[in-house]
Protein backbone atom coordinates (compact mmCIF):
# COMPACT_ATOMS: atom_id res chain seq x y z
CA UNK A 1 0.00 0.00 0.00
CA UNK A 2 1.16 3.60 -0.57
CA UNK A 3 2.77 5.45 2.29
CA UNK A 4 0.43 8.11 3.67
CA UNK A 5 3.03 10.57 4.93
CA UNK A 6 3.93 12.06 1.55
CA UNK A 7 0.91 13.39 -0.32
CA UNK A 8 2.31 16.18 -2.46
CA UNK A 9 1.60 15.97 -6.19
CA UNK A 10 4.65 16.37 -8.40
CA UNK A 11 5.00 19.52 -10.51
CA UNK A 12 7.29 17.79 -12.98
CA UNK A 13 4.88 17.93 -15.89
CA UNK A 14 3.97 21.49 -16.79
CA UNK A 15 3.85 21.75 -20.59
CA UNK A 16 0.05 21.65 -20.69
CA UNK A 17 -0.05 24.71 -18.46
CA UNK A 18 1.96 26.57 -21.12
CA UNK A 19 -0.03 25.56 -24.19
CA UNK A 20 0.36 28.50 -26.62
CA UNK A 21 -3.34 28.78 -27.40
CA UNK A 22 -3.04 32.30 -28.80
CA UNK A 23 -0.37 31.23 -31.30
CA UNK A 24 -2.28 28.07 -32.21
CA UNK A 25 -5.37 30.21 -32.85
CA UNK A 26 -3.27 32.53 -35.02
CA UNK A 27 -2.12 29.62 -37.19
CA UNK A 28 -5.64 28.23 -37.43
CA UNK A 29 -7.07 31.65 -38.32
CA UNK A 30 -4.66 31.97 -41.26
CA UNK A 31 -4.85 28.35 -42.43
CA UNK A 32 -8.57 27.66 -42.00
CA UNK A 33 -9.78 29.67 -45.06
CA UNK A 34 -7.75 27.33 -47.29
CA UNK A 35 -8.81 24.11 -45.55
CA UNK A 36 -11.65 21.61 -45.78
CA UNK A 37 -13.42 20.87 -42.52
CA UNK A 38 -15.15 17.64 -41.57
CA UNK A 39 -16.83 16.17 -38.52
CA UNK A 40 -15.74 12.85 -37.08
CA UNK A 41 -17.10 10.38 -34.58
CA UNK A 42 -15.02 8.86 -31.80
CA UNK A 43 -12.32 6.30 -32.74
CA UNK A 44 -12.01 7.48 -36.34
CA UNK A 45 -8.53 6.94 -37.80
CA UNK A 46 -6.92 9.81 -39.70
CA UNK A 47 -3.74 9.39 -41.74
CA UNK A 48 -1.18 12.09 -42.45
CA UNK A 49 -1.24 11.29 -46.15
CA UNK A 50 -4.48 11.60 -48.12
CA UNK A 51 -4.85 11.29 -51.89
CA UNK A 52 -1.05 11.03 -52.14
CA UNK A 53 -0.71 14.45 -50.51
CA UNK A 54 0.82 15.09 -47.09
CA UNK A 55 -1.74 16.84 -44.87
CA UNK A 56 -1.75 19.35 -42.03
CA UNK A 57 -4.74 19.04 -39.69
CA UNK A 58 -6.43 21.76 -37.65
CA UNK A 59 -8.17 20.41 -34.57
CA UNK A 60 -11.10 22.80 -34.11
CA UNK A 61 -13.21 20.82 -31.63
CA UNK A 62 -12.71 17.59 -29.71
CA UNK A 63 -9.69 15.48 -28.80
CA UNK A 64 -7.29 13.48 -30.95
CA UNK A 65 -4.65 10.92 -29.96
CA UNK A 66 -1.41 10.22 -31.81
CA UNK A 67 -0.40 6.59 -32.34
CA UNK A 68 2.70 4.82 -33.61
CA UNK A 69 1.35 2.81 -36.53
CA UNK A 70 3.51 -0.32 -36.25
CA UNK A 71 2.22 -1.28 -32.80
CA UNK A 72 -0.67 1.16 -32.13
CA UNK A 73 1.16 2.58 -29.11
CA UNK A 74 -0.37 5.89 -28.02
CA UNK A 75 2.23 8.65 -27.91
CA UNK A 76 0.18 11.68 -27.00
CA UNK A 77 -3.25 13.27 -27.09
CA UNK A 78 -4.34 16.85 -27.68
CA UNK A 79 -7.60 18.71 -27.22
CA UNK A 80 -8.71 21.59 -29.42
CA UNK A 81 -7.30 23.90 -30.48
CA UNK A 82 -4.22 22.31 -32.01
CA UNK A 83 -2.37 21.90 -35.30
CA UNK A 84 -1.07 18.47 -36.33
CA UNK A 85 1.46 17.73 -39.05
CA UNK A 86 3.92 20.61 -38.78
CA UNK A 87 6.40 19.15 -36.31
CA UNK A 88 6.71 15.75 -38.01
CA UNK A 89 6.56 16.82 -41.65
CA UNK A 90 9.96 15.32 -42.51
CA UNK A 91 9.13 11.92 -41.01
CA UNK A 92 7.58 8.99 -42.86
CA UNK A 93 3.88 9.81 -43.28
CA UNK A 94 2.94 6.25 -42.34
CA UNK A 95 4.98 6.13 -39.13
CA UNK A 96 2.21 7.85 -37.14
CA UNK A 97 -1.54 8.10 -37.41
CA UNK A 98 -4.23 9.93 -35.47
CA UNK A 99 -7.44 8.67 -33.90
CA UNK A 100 -10.26 10.77 -32.51
CA UNK A 101 -11.13 10.12 -28.87
CA UNK A 102 -14.51 11.85 -29.09
CA UNK A 103 -16.71 13.53 -31.67
CA UNK A 104 -14.46 16.15 -33.23
CA UNK A 105 -14.34 18.90 -35.85
CA UNK A 106 -11.17 18.85 -37.95
CA UNK A 107 -9.96 20.77 -40.98
CA UNK A 108 -7.35 19.51 -43.44
CA UNK A 109 -5.01 21.48 -45.67
CA UNK A 110 -2.16 20.17 -47.85
CA UNK A 111 1.10 20.51 -45.96
CA UNK A 112 2.85 22.38 -48.77
CA UNK A 113 0.01 24.90 -48.76
CA UNK A 114 0.24 25.31 -44.98
CA UNK A 115 3.99 25.95 -45.25
CA UNK A 116 3.41 28.52 -47.99
CA UNK A 117 0.84 30.43 -45.93
CA UNK A 118 3.06 30.39 -42.84
CA UNK A 119 5.89 31.89 -44.89
CA UNK A 120 3.70 34.48 -46.63
CA UNK A 121 2.12 35.68 -43.37
CA UNK A 122 5.42 35.57 -41.46
CA UNK A 123 3.99 33.22 -38.84
CA UNK A 124 7.39 31.95 -37.72
CA UNK A 125 6.94 33.03 -34.11
CA UNK A 126 3.63 31.21 -33.80
CA UNK A 127 5.10 28.15 -35.50
CA UNK A 128 8.11 28.21 -33.15
CA UNK A 129 5.84 28.45 -30.09
CA UNK A 130 3.84 25.43 -31.25
CA UNK A 131 7.00 23.42 -31.99
CA UNK A 132 8.44 24.25 -28.55
CA UNK A 133 5.19 23.16 -26.91
CA UNK A 134 5.14 19.94 -28.95
CA UNK A 135 8.73 19.16 -27.96
CA UNK A 136 7.79 19.71 -24.32
CA UNK A 137 4.86 17.33 -24.61
CA UNK A 138 7.13 14.67 -26.13
CA UNK A 139 9.61 15.17 -23.29
CA UNK A 140 6.81 14.79 -20.76
CA UNK A 141 5.66 11.58 -22.40
CA UNK A 142 9.17 10.11 -22.29
CA UNK A 143 9.65 11.01 -18.62
CA UNK A 144 6.29 9.43 -17.77
CA UNK A 145 6.75 6.07 -19.45
CA UNK A 146 10.38 5.76 -18.35
CA UNK A 147 9.76 6.82 -14.75
CA UNK A 148 11.70 4.93 -12.02
CA UNK A 149 8.85 2.56 -11.17
CA UNK A 150 5.49 1.28 -12.36
CA UNK A 151 3.87 3.17 -9.50
CA UNK A 152 5.40 6.49 -10.64
CA UNK A 153 4.12 5.91 -14.16
CA UNK A 154 0.61 5.00 -13.01
CA UNK A 155 0.47 7.93 -10.60
CA UNK A 156 1.27 10.45 -13.33
CA UNK A 157 -1.14 8.80 -15.76
CA UNK A 158 -3.99 9.04 -13.25
CA UNK A 159 -3.49 12.79 -12.92
CA UNK A 160 -3.33 13.09 -16.69
CA UNK A 161 -6.58 11.13 -16.98
CA UNK A 162 -8.27 13.49 -14.51
CA UNK A 163 -7.28 16.39 -16.77
CA UNK A 164 -9.01 14.84 -19.77
CA UNK A 165 -12.46 15.99 -20.86
CA UNK A 166 -15.44 14.44 -19.09
CA UNK A 167 -16.42 12.77 -22.37
CA UNK A 168 -13.12 10.88 -22.52
CA UNK A 169 -12.73 10.18 -18.82
CA UNK A 170 -16.19 8.67 -18.36
CA UNK A 171 -15.92 6.43 -21.41
CA UNK A 172 -12.44 5.00 -20.75
CA UNK A 173 -11.45 2.75 -17.88
CA UNK A 174 -8.38 3.84 -15.95
CA UNK A 175 -6.66 0.54 -16.73
CA UNK A 176 -7.26 0.86 -20.48
CA UNK A 177 -6.13 4.48 -20.48
CA UNK A 178 -2.86 3.65 -18.73
CA UNK A 179 -2.15 0.48 -20.70
CA UNK A 180 -2.61 2.28 -24.04
CA UNK A 181 0.04 4.84 -23.08
CA UNK A 182 2.64 2.71 -21.30
CA UNK A 183 4.56 -0.56 -21.54
CA UNK A 184 3.12 -1.82 -18.24
CA UNK A 185 1.39 -5.17 -17.89
CA UNK A 186 -2.31 -5.13 -17.15
CA UNK A 187 -1.82 -7.17 -13.97
CA UNK A 188 0.58 -4.61 -12.45
CA UNK A 189 -1.75 -1.76 -13.40
CA UNK A 190 -4.76 -3.47 -11.84
CA UNK A 191 -2.89 -4.26 -8.61
CA UNK A 192 -1.74 -0.69 -8.04
CA UNK A 193 -5.15 0.73 -8.94
CA UNK A 194 -6.77 -1.67 -6.46
CA UNK A 195 -4.36 -0.58 -3.71
CA UNK A 196 -5.00 3.10 -4.41
CA UNK A 197 -8.73 2.51 -4.38
CA UNK A 198 -8.56 0.64 -1.05
CA UNK A 199 -6.47 3.45 0.42
CA UNK A 200 -9.09 6.02 -0.58
CA UNK A 201 -6.77 7.84 -2.97
CA UNK A 202 -8.91 7.27 -6.06
CA UNK A 203 -12.61 6.70 -6.62
CA UNK A 204 -13.66 4.47 -9.51
CA UNK A 205 -16.93 3.09 -10.81
CA UNK A 206 -16.78 0.03 -13.05
CA UNK A 207 -13.13 0.83 -13.69
CA UNK A 208 -13.78 4.45 -14.67
CA UNK A 209 -11.87 7.09 -12.70
CA UNK A 210 -14.41 9.35 -10.99
CA UNK A 211 -12.26 11.36 -8.61
CA UNK A 212 -8.92 11.70 -6.85
CA UNK A 213 -10.23 12.77 -3.42
CA UNK A 214 -6.77 13.16 -1.88
CA UNK A 215 -3.25 13.59 -3.17
CA UNK A 216 -1.76 10.33 -4.38
CA UNK A 217 1.46 9.66 -2.41
CA UNK A 218 4.79 9.93 -4.18
CA UNK A 219 5.93 6.66 -2.61
CA UNK A 220 4.27 3.26 -2.90
Instruction: Using the Cα atoms of residue 194, residue 197, residue 202 and residue 203 in order, give the sign of their dihedral.
Output: positive
Least confident range from 36-40, 162-166, 195-199: namely 162-166
The pLDDT of residue 5 is: 35
**Cross-strand partners of 126:** none
The pLDDT of residue 34 is: 97
Single out the residue of 139, 149, 125 nearest to residue 16, CA to CA: 139
Total residue count of the chain as it appears in this document: 220
- The pLDDT of 111-129, averaged and rounded, is 97
CA distance 216 to 200: 9
CA distance 157 to 179: 10
CA distance 196 to 14: 24
Question: Which CATH fold topology does 15-143 show?
Answer: Jelly Rolls (2.60.120)
Residue partners of 75: CB distance under 8 A and separation at least 6: 66, 67, 68, 96, 138, 141
User: Can you give the residue ranges of every domain in the chain?
Assistant: 15-143, 148-211
61 vs 92: which has the higher pLDDT: 61
pTM summary value: 0.80
The pLDDT of residue 16 is: 57
CA distance 78 to 65: 6
Contact (CB, 8 A) for 95 and 62: no
Amino acid sequence: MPETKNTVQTNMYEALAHKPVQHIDTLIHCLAPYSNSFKTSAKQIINYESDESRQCYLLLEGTVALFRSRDSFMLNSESAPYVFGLSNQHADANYLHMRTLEDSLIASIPLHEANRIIAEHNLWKSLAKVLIYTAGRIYEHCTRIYAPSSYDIIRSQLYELMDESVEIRLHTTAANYIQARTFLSRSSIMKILADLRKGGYITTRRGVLIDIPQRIPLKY
